[in-house]
Amino acid sequence: MNRKQSLQSLCAAALLIAVGIVIPMFSPVKIVLPTASYTLASHVAIFIAMVISPGVAAAVAIGTTAGFLLGGFPIMVVLRAATHLVFALLGAFYIQKTPDLLASPVRARAFSLVIGIIHGFCEVVVVTLFFFGGNMDATYGFAYSVLLLVGAGSIIHSMVDFEIALVVVKALQKQKSFSALVSSASL
């Protein structure tokens, strides 16, 4: 990677971190349930970063986690955000190895489902620790509160945000400066 590409990647990461922090703070579309919450498009910046490179994906996942921490969000939310590093890196490396992945609607949706399952699993692990640690309302039980709302909810939320990111990436791909960043991924 040359100096210009490095600078472009750094700028893209910074902008995506900013977007990833701003969306959860100001999004008008939030679903808040007793044991989970979902903010539409809160993962879009991470999905866009995954298309750029694993380094940018990692930076955005870490940066948005820091944003949740500095924003004063509860520690469970911050730790759930920290798990995004796992699916962001796995997804970015897979996209890098399979550049035509997102060009096929069927393969892109299968990828989205797999990433969503990884995403949901990681968040379930974090919430399970809080649930059994007594730091979470257990009124609705483990199956409902953790497995259904957090696990299945995260999978669905992840897949919806992936679709939004795919539309944004395809639009950005038409811009020369962005397409140079993601030259290995064909859409």
Q: Give the DSSP per-residue string, 62-104.
A: HHHHHHHHHTT--HHHHHHHHTHHHHHHHHHHHHHH-TTGGGS
* Architecture in CATH for domain 3-181: Orthogonal Bundle (1.10)
Going from N- to C-terminal start, the domains of the chain cover: 3-181
The answer to whether residues 27 and 41 touch, using CB atoms and an 8 Å cutoff, is yes
Tally the C-alpha atoms within 13 A of residue 87's C-alpha that lie toward its C-beta: 28
Its pTM stands at: 0.93
Please state the separation of Cα 67 from the chain's center in Å.
14
Strand partners, 30: 39
Q: What is the mean pLDDT of the chain?
A: 91
pLDDT in tens, 45-84: 999 999 999 999 999 999 999 998 988 888 998 999 999 9
Torsion angles phi and psi, residue 133, rounded to 5: -85, -5
